[in-house]
Amino acid sequence: MTAKRSVALTVGLLLLSVGSRLAGSAQTAIPDEFQVRAAIIANLARFVSWAPPKGNVHTPMIVGLLGSDQQSAALEAYLSSHTIDGRAFQVRKLERSDRTDDCQIVYVSPSEKQHFEEIADSRSWNGVLTISDDRTFALTGGIVGLPVVGDRIEIQINLFRAQQNGLLISSRLLGLARVIRKADTR
Amino acid sequence: MKGKLLHRQPIRTRLIVLSTVVAGCALLLASMAFWAYESVLYLQTLERESSTIAQMLADNSVAALTFDDRAAATEIANTLRAEPRVIKACFFGATGTVLATYRKGGDVEQCPPISLENSTHLTVHHLLVFHPVTLNRDTIGSVYLQIDLAEMYVMWMRYGAISALVLCMATLFAMGLSSKLQKMISDPILHLANIASQVSGSGHYSLRAVKTYDDETGQLIDQFNDMMEKINERDTSLKRAQDELETRVQERTQSLVSEIAERKSVEQSLVNAKIAAEAANTAKSGFLANMSHELRTPLNAILGYGEMLEEDARSAGNTSAATDLQRLLFAGHHLLDLVNDVLDISKIEAGALHLHSQRVHSDEITKEVAATVEPLAHKNGNRFELKIGASEFINVDV
């Protein structure tokens, strides 16, 4: 059953799918974990519906980056050169005090996880898909966690939090993910 | 060959074969039509079902293909175990990468090149289905299915076996039924044929066929009987005429025989008359020959003594007696010539005259003829002139 709950993404495969897309950019041609995760984050948006809808198909999707590290840099590079279903991304670097409720997606760096846990309940996250690569993110107030398990990146989804934030997540995605249905376990 | 074989068969057999073949052909055609319909229907259904399966697989594998999740894609592919007709399946990512394969029974074979079109292709053994995987109108991959047609062939075999069985039974049934029903047609014809052969065998034109049905065979029997009636009449009159003719021929023969006998007797009497005439002629010729022969003997004596007397008178200088004697000799020689001529005629008639061809000069013979003819001419007061042209040698009988 773990196979169903994890995404089998090997480096060799990404050489074909993601690496080819990045080959044109200035970055390294060999896709690493960060680029794979960036591709996953971009594709996650295709399986999530915002209710009420934020923006429309003609406006860019706003992605907030909380904290700065290698992953956020890779994500920024990936999103700037990709669109999802004809919709572009607009990356916004956030400070701790910045508003987050006008973003569709907020990526939380592991370094900011502590801070996120503090602000998770204190402000409105309505309509925001929170994502981090931290192993416990989905259990501690976040919605999507993308930790490395074994040789794969596992998709963890906290369905309770997603519903709380007014997000509908496609059952197709849930079929691949490890789903957490309860509230935080902090 | 078969047609000729059938031509020699009796009408009963031909009628049975006819009915059986017609029934068999009709059933065969119906079976083939039904088979074709079943096959088309099966293929249409299979195509529709395959499309549905491919559609469901495509829908289920959207997330797996989006995130390139091989394990999830393989798991979805393995759900095809529930559908035994699918023997092979391939899941392609957008770039044509094979993410997962399914092969009934285990071994994984090569997948074909990706096609992003929704297509079905029928080969001899398989139905090949490509179905695109789309997410928000974006094609992110494709599902390929290879459906086995073995089931259809099994169905064909089963259908063929059942059809053959039904065909055999129906043909047997048709044969049995037609062997009963053909009697309606064949019985009157056979009866007619039987009567006809009896008539031709025995010559009894008084035989009649019995009419059973009021159809064409009934008409045929009526006409046959009618014809027999006429033949019978003609036969009788012919016999009568023949008898009369025989009598007349006998009479005529009799009269001819007597006529011939009469002619023969006349002929015989003619022959006798001819023989008699010939005998008379021979007698006449014999008489002439003998007579002339006998006449010459005394004439030679007269001539011999005449010449002696003439020589004596001449030597005695009695010219008047010599001249008379000369005339006597001349007449005697003339008589001898006449007697010789008579002898010649009798020789000619007896066929005993022989010509002795001799070469003489024409002047000589002319002078002799002139010497003979001149006195005769003078005697009657005629003038005799002799004019001779170029003389030469000729062949004559002396």
Calculate how close chain A gets to B142, using CA atoms only, in Å.
Answer: 15
Residues B22 and B127: their CA atoms lie apart, in Å, by 38
Residue-wise pLDDT tens for chain B (398 aa)?
A: 455 777 788 888 888 988 899 999 999 999 999 999 999 999 999 999 999 999 999 999 999 998 888 888 988 998 998 988 999 999 998 888 888 888 887 666 788 888 888 899 999 989 999 999 998 888 889 999 999 999 899 999 999 999 999 999 999 999 999 888 888 888 888 888 899 899 888 888 888 888 888 888 888 889 999 998 998 899 899 999 999 999 999 999 999 999 999 999 999 999 999 999 999 988 888 888 888 888 888 888 889 998 999 899 989 888 888 888 888 888 888 888 888 888 888 778 777 777 788 888 888 888 888 888 888 888 888 888 888 887 788 888 76
Can you give the pLDDT at residue A186? 58
Interface of B with A in 111-140 (CB under 8 A): 135-138
Question: What is the fold of A2-180?
Answer: Rossmann fold (3.40.50)
8 Å CB contact of B64 and A46: no
Delimit the domains of chain B by residue range. Answer: 2-181, 225-352, 355-398
Calculate how close chain A gets to B137, using CA atoms only, in Å.
Answer: 8
Residues A169 and A124: their CA atoms lie apart, in Å, by 19
Residue to substitute from B57, B61, B68, B75, interface A, most A β-carbons within 10 A: B68
Delimit the domains of chain A by residue range. Answer: 2-180
* Among the partner residues B60, B67, B72, nearest to A43 by beta-carbon distance: B67
Provide CB contacts within 8 A for B209, sequence distance 6+.
Answer: B191, B192, B195, B221, B224, B225
Distances in whole angstroms, Cα of residue B395 to Cα of each of B96, B359, B364:
142, 5, 12
Can you give the pLDDT at residue B149? 92
Q: Which CATH architecture has domain B2-181?
A: 2-Layer Sandwich (3.30)
Q: Please, what is the end-to-end C-alpha distance for chain A in angstroms? A: 26
Amino acid (1-letter code) at residue B199: V
- Indicate if the alpha-carbon torsion angle B39, B42, B44, B46 is positive or negative: negative
Distances in whole angstroms, Cα of residue B97 to Cα of each of A10, A135, B65, B120:
14, 30, 10, 21
- What average pLDDT values come out for chain A (186 residues) when binned by 10 residues? 40 37 42 85 89 75 89 90 86 86 89 85 85 90 90 90 90 88 70
8 Å CB contact of B137 and A43: no
Kindly state the greatest CA–CA separation across chain A.
Answer: 43
Element (H, E) at A106: strand A105-108
Residue B355 contacts residue B397 (beta carbons within 8 Å): yes
Helix, strand, coil shares of chain B, percent, nearest 5, are 70, 10, 20
Whether the bond into A52 is cis, omega within 30 of 0: yes
DSSP A170: -
8 Å CB contact of B60 and A172: yes
Helix (H, G, I), strand (E, B) or coil at A186: coil
Can you give the pLDDT at residue A4? 39
Helix (H, G, I), strand (E, B) or coil at B135: strand
Q: pTM, whole model, 2 decimals?
A: 0.57
Calculate how close chain B gets to A130, using CA atoms only, in Å.
Answer: 19
Can you give the pLDDT at residue B2? 53
Strand A152-154 and strand A156-158: the pairing is unpaired
Helix (H, G, I), strand (E, B) or coil at A84: strand
Residues B330 and B374: their CA atoms lie apart, in Å, by 14
8 Å CB contact of A3 and B75: yes
Residue B313 contacts residue B321 (beta carbons within 8 Å): yes
Can you give the pLDDT at residue A31? 62
